[in-house]
Amino acid sequence: MTLRTPRPYSVEKWIKVGGKGQPARISRQKSEDRAALTTVFRGATKVSLDAKGRMAIPTRYRERLSARCDGEIVVTVDKDHCLLIYPLPDWEELERKLVRLPSMNKVARNIVRIMVGYATEVDMDNNGRILVSRELRDFAGLDKSAMLIGQGNKFELWDEDSWIEKRDAWLAEDGDGELPADLESISF
């Protein structure tokens, strides 16, 4: 009779085993879905708009946008006179919150009126471009050169000159304003 010596424990093999002792199937779709849910847009990129108002989404964001929202995007306005660009699921979540704001509150009503009123659904085409309407371009003063600024779950789209002016003003501020409690514990 031959005695088998037990094999050493293997973490790698343990991870690959599923719930019933069978090898686990690692679904590529599930990992892509998780990545789509945690999509973060960051960075500042110079972009151009053509005469028709088409803007090419930078290549590094296209795959993430396709995974997150299948290229369905909402563009709306911001009080700083830039445009906000949201993947459709993120916009829908925000829109649900906006329309629940009290309509008798003047500030809330104006925010809803502007943000939801200007919200425009656009589709990213096969070349990774979106069409920014004339009304939205006029609101943000967009002509040809623009800056696309990643803001986590959305982008801001600025006229390039306006962005440079605002950015420089923000950098020159003394910081006299009160820091929100959430930021007090963050080290930069």
Reported as type and span, the H/E element at residue 84 is: strand 83-87
CB 171 within 8 A of CB 161: no
Q: pLDDT tens digits for 33-63?
A: 544 455 789 999 999 999 999 999 999 999 9
CA distance 35 to 73: 18
Single-letter amino acid code for the residue at 12: E
Q: Work out the pLDDT band at 184, boundaries 50, 70, 90.
A: confident
Decide the pairing of beta strands 155-159 and 129-131: unpaired
Tens digits of residue pLDDT in 126-167: 999 999 999 999 999 999 999 999 999 999 999 999 999 999
Query: What's the whole-model pTM score?
Result: 0.76
Structural domains in the chain plus CATH codes: 38-163 (3.40.1550.20)
